Amino acid sequence: MRRNLICSLGLSISVFVGGLGLASFASAQSTTAPPASTPAKHAALETLRQAHRLLVHADHDYDGRRARAAEEVHKAIKDLEGKHAPKNVQPGSAPAVASQPAKVKQPKMHESQGNSDAQMRQALQLLQTALPQISSKHPHATARVTAAIHEINVALKIK
């Protein structure tokens, strides 16, 4: 009787340990294989966030073109983030932008037109860099980035 009890206990322990090993293997498989597009998408998101910050912080209005470009970039970021994005986070402080678009306010200190133009050109370069990374799989975000690029090009012609 004692021998049967010991055998049953040993068998139960080995089944339990085997089950743990199988569960940890399945867990490791599901967490170590991210989708192939994830790194490119994250890089594009970060590039768009940088462009958004530049557009928000540029000093001049450009007849509202800067604000429209910033709004388009904000919407493109939201399109790329999808429904799994964290809520209520300000641009630049974490991996996501705020759930409401950032208000484009004029700073109290007025920067030169040249400095503001340089920020706009830098944002334009960032958007042109991000565009090929998102164009094949994210048509809505691509359209928004293209619209933002158009707005910046028009804005830079305004003096």
Q: Do 158 and 63 meet the contact criterion of CB atoms below 8 Å apart?
A: yes
| Number of folded domains that form the chain | 2
Rounded CA separation 4/7 (Å): 5
Q: Do 80 and 45 meet the contact criterion of CB atoms below 8 Å apart?
A: yes
61 and 28, same structural domain? Answer: no
- 85: its two tokens: 């994005």
Q: Is the dihedral of CA 140, 145, 148, 150 positive or negative?
A: negative
pTM given for the model: 0.63
65 and 21, same structural domain? Answer: no
75 and 117, same structural domain? Answer: yes
87 and 53, same structural domain? Answer: yes
Rounded CA separation 126/122 (Å): 6
- Full domain range(s) for residue 13: 1-33
pLDDT in tens, 8-67: 545 455 544 444 444 444 444 444 433 445 788 889 999 999 999 999 998 888 999 999
